[in-house]
Amino acid sequence: MKKGRMRLVVKVGSSSLAAAGGGVDRSKMTLLVSAVSKLREAGHQVVLVSSGAVASGYQSLGYQQRPRTLAAKQAAAAIGQSLLMQTYTQMFAAHCFSVAQILLTRSDFSHRERYQHAFQTLSLLLDKDILPIINENDTVSVAELTFGDNDMLGALVAGLVHADLYLILTDTDGLYDQDPRNHPGAKRIAWLQEITEEVEALAGGASQLGTGGMRSKLIAAKTAQGLGIPSFIGKLTQPADLLDVIHGQGNGTYVSYHPEAPAANGLPTRKQWIALHSPIRGSITIDSGAAEAILKKRSSLLLAGVRDVSGTFEQNEVIEVYCDGSLIGRGVSRYAAEELLDLLPLTGSTRRSGTVIHRDQWTQTI
């Protein structure tokens, strides 16, 4: 990226888009589109992760509130997603910007080739000055293959495109030390170095129109931070608000963001896939010496450090690595499980040499 030009992922929730009784709130969408367009006009690249398909479509099915059954949600999403994109296309066209729709499922991330294709497609769209608008493919997603909520989808997309900042827009102006609805003296937390269990405990539940709440936003910001990406959680009230956010003057809560500091080098795409998306085929246990070598010295994991093998993984499959009962990371094994088991008795006195996981194919637990 050129100096001063940022790559941003903006996530907007259902409560910030849909009308209270269902359907699209055009005034809310107009504000969002204007704010995103100002970022684009300032030269920044933007990926928009937009919720709101189910909330926008259930009214057309005759429901008075967000449906509960999977079939009804998927039907509402099928209607609402087209309404959202129609409105986005028209509104961004008024600002002379073109948009592209991308619908993702969890399997698009877990399948390595599809994950790489998603990265290439998004990169091309951004290079061509097209605004990608991403949502989970609610019409076909099932419980086992969902992201949980679009807060997490946004964090994973931010990692995928190596964003400089992840902006999570919601209906509150950040995190407070107490619930401001019940405590008039509650104070907003403007900046967090990291998200601890104590910080997560300050969050509440889900919103009425969406699936996420402040807790899900904190967890998503924590995931983004693990990928080397800072976050902002706050409310959009004026078209210029997002420009204020990237300058460190946003009305919300920042997580490990310093507007004057150079962007950190995020986790490489291949390591993101290993850390967060890859299917796990088995595990190994290593000794403390090997753990210190790979965690502190950034060395590869050698055969001599392996103490136990579990599972039926093959060569070049991703496995988990444990030490003293704790998960410390994941990596691509250069051996099949059966080969490692055959070599284990020889790792004591004979000290066979060989690399089990190369450092370029290893990631610590995020």
Residue whose structure tokens are 């967890």:
219
Sequence-ordered list of residues with C-beta below 8 angstroms from that of 41, at least 6 positions apart, any chain: 95
Per-residue model confidence (pLDDT) at position 207: 45
Taking the alpha carbons at both ends of the chain, their separation in whole angstroms is: 25
Per-residue model confidence (pLDDT) at position 259: 76
DSSP-derived pairing of the beta strands 252-255 and 301-302: unpaired
Sequence-ordered list of residues with C-beta below 8 angstroms from that of 150, at least 6 positions apart, any chain: 11, 13, 49, 50, 51, 135, 136, 211, 212
Sign of the Cα torsion 171, 172, 174, 175 reads: negative
Half-sphere exposure of 183 (CA within 13 A, CB side): 10
DSSP-derived pairing of the beta strands 131-136 and 165-170: unpaired
Per-residue model confidence (pLDDT) at position 254: 96
Per-residue model confidence (pLDDT) at position 348: 52
Residue-wise pLDDT for 72-104, tens only, equals 888 888 888 888 899 999 999 999 999 999 998
Q: Which token pair is 270?
A: 């291949």
DSSP string for 247-314: TT--SEEEES--TTSPPP-PPPHHHHIIIIISPP-EEEEE-HHHHHHHHTS-PPEEGGGEEEEEE---
Element (DSSP H or E) covering residue 29: helix 26-41
- Tell me the sheet residues that pair with 96: none
Per-residue model confidence (pLDDT) at position 261: 66
How far apart are alpha carbons 265 and 211 in whole angstroms? 31
> Quick count: other Cβ atoms within 10 Å of Cβ 79?
18
* Amino acid found at 233: I
Indicate the SS3 state at residue 350: coil
How far apart are alpha carbons 68 and 179 in whole angstroms? 27
How many degrees, rounded to 5, is the angle at CA 287 between CA 283 and CA 289?
Answer: 130
pLDDT tens, N- to C-terminus, the chain (366 residues) = 434 789 999 999 887 887 777 777 889 999 999 999 999 999 999 999 998 888 888 888 888 888 888 888 888 888 888 888 999 999 999 999 999 999 988 888 888 899 999 999 999 999 999 999 999 876 665 544 445 578 999 999 999 999 999 999 998 899 988 877 788 888 999 999 988 888 888 875 444 434 347 888 999 999 999 999 999 999 999 999 999 999 999 999 999 887 776 555 678 888 999 998 899 999 999 999 999 999 999 999 999 899 999 999 999 999 999 999 999 999 999 999 999 998 886 545 555 678 999 999 999 987
Sign of the Cα torsion 324, 325, 329, 333 reads: positive
How far apart are alpha carbons 262 and 239 in whole angstroms? 26
How far apart are alpha carbons 25 and 264 in whole angstroms? 37
Q: Which token pair is 309?
A: 């093998």
Indicate the SS3 state at residue 35: helix
How far apart are alpha carbons 231 and 321 in whole angstroms? 29
> What is the pTM (predicted TM-score) of this model?
0.84
- Domains in the chain and their CATH numbers? 7-255 (3.40.1160.10), 279-364 (2.30.130.10)
How far apart are alpha carbons 202 and 243 in whole angstroms? 28
How far apart are alpha carbons 278 and 357 in whole angstroms? 15
Per-residue model confidence (pLDDT) at position 3: 45
How far apart are alpha carbons 286 and 284 in whole angstroms? 7
Phi first, then psi: give them for residue 8, nearest 5 degrees.
-125, 140
